[in-house]
């Protein structure tokens, strides 16, 4: 576990109102369709109450996990008192860690600024966890979740969903090949350049978060590594959150002793169960689109020495496509900041470009 820095012992962060509330010091800020619900459930279920999720809000059951306060402008307007009230009373001798696991935080441009405003000089006490999944698989899973909600998405094929979004992104990149495409509020002509696609644009988002947080406050989790090594990732998150090693070890043992059926249920998200396989043309187009951003992300993680869990994936190409994925392959800065359309990805035995024909239909 040497690649995960030992965090200072957790100290309660209490609000300053007359009846102090235990404010969260652990935030899961990303990302959708990358295992955050499973990780959150492990944190809450297997730490003997050491990790607490706070109370439900008007948004219902999902709000036990996701508070949305620092990202969604309508939630931010509810104000400090509202957010403080959804957390339990704070006692100095009860060393609990409150967790706000809102995986959409990373895509909200103002989220890190709002957190800095809210916590002020206490901001360095916060620990951030960002679960990252290979963006093409993530986008596919996201599409199938949208279809479960019905409406226009129910009648739409994946290629119909993807085509206008890629066309918009391509148009922006033709104007400036180095455009970050995010946030949607960029000035014209770069506003709303990557609708829905921006959930996988980790590089410009991480740059934004690093404007407010020190790299040591961040822990990146490889989704592929989480699937293969859930206990190790769980341990790393607990250490990152400031729990003593003895407590982290006990929590891992409880996780490992949990029934396998319960663990499998946590790892599933029924809304995101897809059907069939993505057409080769669509997959190649998405790989082509995301490749330069992933290369820049590898470089940023390396330059800032940001920890990645599991440890074996530090310095590796952990966000490469599943068919190329290997935790043992080191990252090399061989395509950093290449403009759109100049990176080639192999899919099966065929090499595709943006204009290639599909080998399969959707």
- Spatial contact of 181 and 201, defined as CB atoms under 8 Å apart: yes
Identify each DSSP E strand in 229-349 by its residue range. 307-309, 345-347
- Alpha carbon distance 330, 316 (integer Å): 4
- Spatial contact of 287 and 321, defined as CB atoms under 8 Å apart: yes
- The dihedral over CA atoms of 312, 314, 324, 102, expressed in degrees to the nearest 10, equals 100
Burial class (CB in 10 A: 0-12, 13-18, 19+), 176: middle
- Spatial contact of 23 and 89, defined as CB atoms under 8 Å apart: no
- The dihedral over CA atoms of 318, 319, 324, 330, expressed in degrees to the nearest 10, equals -40
133 is in an annotated binding site: yes
- Alpha carbon distance 116, 125 (integer Å): 11
Identify each DSSP E strand in the chain by its residue range. 26-30, 51-52, 97-101, 127-132, 218-222, 307-309, 345-347, 350-352
- Alpha carbon distance 61, 113 (integer Å): 27
- Alpha carbon distance 184, 109 (integer Å): 9
CA 315, distance to chain mean position in Å, is 18
- Alpha carbon distance 175, 191 (integer Å): 12
Q: Is 33 a catalytic residue?
A: yes
CA nearest neighbour of 134 among 219, 217, 224, 203:
224
CA nearest neighbour of 101 among 121, 138, 71, 145:
71
Distance in Å from the first CA to the final CA of the chain: 43
358 is in an annotated binding site: no
Query: Which CA distances in Å does 252 have to 48, 101, 106, 226, 307?
Result: 11, 20, 27, 14, 20
- Alpha carbon distance 39, 237 (integer Å): 9
Q: Which of 33, 67, 127, 281 is catalytic?
A: 33
Q: Which residues are annotated as a binding site for 3'-phosphoadenylyl sulfate?
A: 133, 141
Binding site, by residue number, is 133, 141
Name the residues annotated as catalytic: 33
């Amino acid at each position: 576990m040497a690649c995960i820095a030992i965090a200072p012992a957790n100290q309660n962060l209490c609000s300053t109102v007359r009846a102090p509330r235990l404010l969260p010091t652990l935030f899961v800020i990303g990302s959708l369709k990358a295992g955050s619900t499973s990780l959150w459930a492990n944190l809450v279920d297997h730490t003997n109450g050491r990790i607490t999720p706070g109370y439900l809000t008007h948004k219902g059951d999902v709000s036990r996990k996701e508070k949305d306060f620092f990202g969604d402008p309508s939630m931010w307007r509810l104000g400090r008192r509202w957010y403080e009230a959804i957390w339990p009373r704070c006692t100095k001798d009860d060393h609990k860690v409150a967790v706000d696991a809102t995986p959409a935080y990373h895509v909200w441009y103002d989220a890190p600024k709002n957190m800095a405003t809210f916590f002020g000089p206490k901001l360095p006490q916060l620990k951030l966890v960002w679960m990252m999944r290979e963006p093409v698989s993530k986008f596919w899973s996201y599409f199938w979740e949208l279809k479960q909600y019905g409406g226009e998405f129910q009648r739409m094929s994946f290629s119909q969903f993807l085509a206008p979004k890629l066309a918009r992104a391509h148009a922006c990149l033709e104007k400036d090949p180095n455009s970050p495409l995010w946030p949607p509020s960029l000035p014209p002509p770069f506003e709303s350049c990557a609708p829905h696609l921006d959930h996988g644009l980790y590089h410009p988002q991480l740059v934004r978060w690093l404007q407010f947080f020190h790299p040591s406050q961040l822990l990146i989790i490889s989704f592929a590594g989480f699937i293969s090594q859930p206990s190790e990732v769980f341990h790393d998150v607990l250490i990152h959150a400031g729990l003593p090693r003895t407590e982290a070890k006990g929590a891992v043992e409880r996780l490992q002793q949990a029934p396998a059926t319960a663990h499998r249920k946590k790892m599933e998200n029924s809304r995101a169960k897809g059907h069939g396989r993505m057409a080769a043309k669509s997959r190649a187009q998405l790989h082509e689109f995301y490749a330069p951003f992933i290369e820049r992300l590898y470089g940023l993680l390396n330059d800032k020495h940001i920890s990645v869990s599991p440890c074996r994936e530090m310095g590796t190409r952990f966000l490469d496509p599943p068919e190329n994925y290997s935790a043992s392959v080191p990252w090399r800065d061989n395509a950093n900041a290449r403009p759109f359309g100049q990176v080639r990805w192999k899919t099966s035995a065929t090499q595709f470009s943006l204009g290639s024909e599909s080998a399969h239909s959707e």
